[in-house]
Amino acid sequence: MTRHWFLVLAAVVAAACQSTAPAPAPRALPEATPAPAAAAAPQASPTPAPARLPEAFRWVRDSAEHRAIYLQVYRQATERVEREAVRHPAGTWAVVLDADETVIDNSPYEIERSEKGLPFNAASWRAWTEKRAAVPLPGAAAFLARVHELGGKIAIVTNRAAGECPDTEANFRAEKLPFDVMLCKPAGGPGDKNPRFEAVANGTTPAGLPPLTIVAFLGDNIFDFPGLSQAIAHQGDPAFSEFGREFFVLPNPMYGSWH
């Protein structure tokens, strides 16, 4: 009996010792080795976006409205000369037209300069005229042909320089655009077209044409019409009474005296 209690006591003491012994320290996990940083991708040099073509240039080049307006105006001008031809004998009347942006299209030159970020200058313009690459604008060729068919004369009054006149005449001929006289800006002279209008009417042009009744003026600039300037913009609608009758204006948002 005594032995039994001794064994029980020994078991209790052993258990107590085990419960008070310090627990082994937890095993430390090895520190993770940081992954090497990914090599930064080389940054490509930003490619400059191409210059956006101004809306005016894109409208001239791409819009249906541009073609529609030219065809509309030339049809109206044709109706005018058909009526006037009945009233005037063949060879006694004429129409007067500007060249650039009225009969022939220089938008390729204007667009190329704009895309390169370059301004207009005399040297580049002269190079363009020497190419003789301007094509007829919508309705222009048919109108000029109809004027000649009806017995009228055609005077091109342009502010291209006198030195550019031979190339301009050659450009017209290459595109089969008829004319009877081409009056460029006199060398060293003013851009005022009124004296040249008067020369057509008075029969004093170098072409030797007789005095002519001018039945229609066509142009893209207010100075293409006799006696007018940008001042007309402030003179009210009655000041524009000849437009659609004797004066016919074509759209040119790219350049002009309104700038």
Angle at CA of residue 143, ends 206 and 211, nearest 5°: 30
| Dihedral angle over CA of 157, 252, 256, 226, nearest 10 | 40
Q: Rounded to whole angstroms, how far apart are CA atoms 34 and 139?
A: 76
* Residue among 218, 222, 217, 219 at smallest CA distance from 257: 222
pLDDT at 1: 39
pLDDT of the residue at 174: 98
Count of other CB atoms within 10 angstroms of residue 79: 10
Task: Give the amino acid at 226.
Answer: P
Nearest-angstrom CA–CA distance, 220 and 102: 6
Tens digit of pLDDT at every position of the chain (259 positions): 334 433 333 333 344 334 444 444 444 433 434 444 444 444 554 544 456 899 999 999 999 999 999 999 999 999 999 999 999 999 999 999 999 999 999 999 999 999 999 999 999 999 999 999 999 999 999 999 999 999 999 999 999 999 999 999 999 999 999 999 999 999 988 999 999 999 999 999 999 999 999 999 999 999 999 999 999 999 999 999 999 999 999 999 999 999 8
Burial of residue 8 (number of CB atoms within 10 Å: 0-12, 13-18, 19+): exposed
Nearest residue to 80 (alpha-carbon basis) of 138, 142, 143, 141: 143
Q: Residue 204 gets which letter from DSSP? A: -
Cβ pair 225, 217 in contact under 8 A: yes
DSSP assigned state of 219:
E
Listed by start position, the domains of the chain span 55-249
CA distances from 8 to 4, 14, 15, 17 (A): 6, 10, 11, 15
Q: Which amino acid is at 157?
A: V
* Sheet architecture: strand order including 213-219: 181-185, 153-161, 93-97, 213-219, 247-249
**Helix, coil or strand: residue 257:** coil
Q: How far is residue 216's CA from residue 82's CA, in Å, rounded to a whole number?
A: 11
In terms of Cα–Cα distance, which of 181, 39, 51, 195 is closest to 116? 51
Among 3.40.50.450, 3.40.50.1000, 3.20.20.70, 3.10.450.50, what is the CATH number of 55-249? 3.40.50.1000
